[in-house]
Amino acid sequence: MKSLKVAMIAGIVAIIMVGAANAGIAPSSNKITGKVINITLQQAMSDLGLVAAIVQQVSLDQVLKSHSDIFIARVLYKNYTFEITGSRNQWILFFRTINAVEFNVSSNTVKGK
């Protein structure tokens, strides 16, 4: 009878640990949440808030220093981690476009220079 109680308690503890790991209670590699959203650079450009986050967290130097034709940027935005994928040329064009316009990060507005 004692071994049955011990087995039941061990089983309940194991279920709780698995539930906590899946619920995001357990520590994750992400600073804010464990939620990662994979999108392309073109999709990211449709959200001005996400564009502002990219401008704040990613630099053209990072893109140019990468040794791959595809660059993946990790951007934290609205408690999510976005993994934004684009070719090197797409990223260069993105930063040229951003530099060609005045981008007000605080109000998420865009004006031509």
What is the distance between the alpha carbons of residues 66 and 31, in angstroms, rounded to a whole number? 23
**Beta carbons within 8 Å of 48's beta carbon, 6+ residues apart:** 108, 109, 110
What is the distance between the alpha carbons of residues 102 and 100, in angstroms, rounded to a whole number? 7
- Which pLDDT tens digit goes with each residue over 21-65? 555 444 444 454 568 889 999 998 888 889 999 999 998 888 888
**Coil, strand, or helix at residue 103?**
strand
- Which pLDDT tens digit goes with each residue over 90-108? 999 998 888 766 655 555 5
**How much is the pTM?**
0.59
What is the distance between the alpha carbons of residues 47 and 80, in angstroms, rounded to a whole number? 14
pLDDT band at 20 (very low <50, low <70, confident <90, very high): low
Reported in sequence order, the residue ranges of 41-95 that DSSP labels E, i.e. its strands, are 70-77, 80-87
